[in-house]
Amino acid sequence: MRVLVVEDDEILAEQIQASLLEAGYSVDMANDGEDGHFLGDTEPYDAVILDFGLPILDGSSVLKKWRAAGKKMPVLVLTARDSWSDKVDGLDAGADDYLTKPFIVEELLARLRALIRRAAGQSSAQLECGPVLLDTRNGRVTVSGRAVKLTAQEFKLLSYMMHHTGKVISRTELTEHIYDQDFDRDSNTIEVFVNRIRKKLDSNVIQTVRGLGYRLEWDEGVA
């Protein structure tokens, strides 16, 4: 899952970035409204954490510009302005959730997980595909109850696929959603990761769709 954080306070931005990385997200950072808007406009994010009080271009304008341009990614707004009017107008501008400062990063992570899940059409915190179970709350993966240890990159990849079960996902899409913008991307490595995950899961849930990409699907017959 790739997340954009637009926050102008350096220390808070660092805290958020650290927690997000630890929780297995790819994170891009922007510290003003203009940069933030550009990134959100050009890169495919699974979610955006957007501070409303930003230099150059304020958060609510950024959000309105994205929505006007048809960008649909879920946006979690951070703000110190916690009056109900700010909340109502913020959500009216197109935010999907709202967190007022000060907040605990745990709370932010929980909201973010829920936001990404809802955007992907998943209602439970535990994503399931046949015997494979991914608990978004603690990042644990099990197959038929057996715990599986994944590297950070493997987890990101599986997590993205688990959020979009049944959907054909291209290698490019996977690259875009598991690496942050500074990463030297090579879509060939995706294939390596997929094969490793397949081995670790010891279960044939990741299917290759020739020429298009992969699909996560549990088919009793194949298994």
Partner 1 sequence: MRAELRHFFGTLTGRLLKSAALWSIAALAVGGLVLSLVFRSYVLSDVDNRLSLLIDSMVGVSEISPEGVIRFSRPLSDQRFMTPESGQYWQINEAGQEPFRSRSLWDFELTPDVSHRSFSLKYYETDGPDGQTLRIAERDIILPQSDRLFHFQVGTDMAEVTAAIAEFNWLLVSALGLIMVTVTTALVLQVSYGLRPLRKLGRSLIEIRTGKENRIKGDWPQDLQPLAQEINALIEQNEKLVDRARTHVGNLAHALKTPLAVIQNEVEGLSDKSAKRIYSQSKLIHEHVDHHLKRARIAGGGTGAGLPIKDRLQKIIKAVAVTTHEKDVDYQLDCPETIKFDGEKEDFDEILGNLIDNAGKWTEAKVKITAAMVTENLRRPFMEIRVEDDGPGVGSEDIDTLFERGRRLDERVPGTGLGLAIVRDIVEMYGGQAMLESVNPHGLRAVLRLPAK
Residues near partner 1 (CB under 8 A) = 9, 11-12, 15, 53, 80-85, 87-88, 90-92, 95-98, 100-106, 114, 118
Assigned token pair, 77: 């707004």
**First-to-final CA distance of the chain:** 27
Please state the closest distance from residue 11 (CB atom) to partner 1, in A. 5
Please state the closest distance from residue 102 (CB atom) to partner 1, in A. 3
Are 10 and 31 in contact by the 8 Å Cβ rule? The answer is yes
Please state the closest distance from residue 9 (CB atom) to partner 1, in A. 5
CA distance 6 to 9: 9
Comparison of 9 and 173: residue with beta carbon closer to partner 1? 9
Comparison of 95 and 116: residue with beta carbon closer to partner 1? 95
CA distance 144 to 147: 9
Comparison of 50 and 157: residue with beta carbon closer to partner 1? 50
Please state the closest distance from residue 60 (CB atom) to partner 1, in A. 14
Strand partners, 135: 126, 140
Please state the closest distance from residue 198 (CB atom) to partner 1, in A. 34
Are 105 and 93 in contact by the 8 Å Cβ rule? The answer is no
Comparison of 22 and 219: residue with beta carbon closer to partner 1? 22
Q: Which residues contact 221 (CB under 8 A, 6 or more apart)?
A: none
Comparison of 103 and 183: residue with beta carbon closer to partner 1? 103
Is the CA virtual torsion 70, 71, 73, 79 positive or negative?
negative
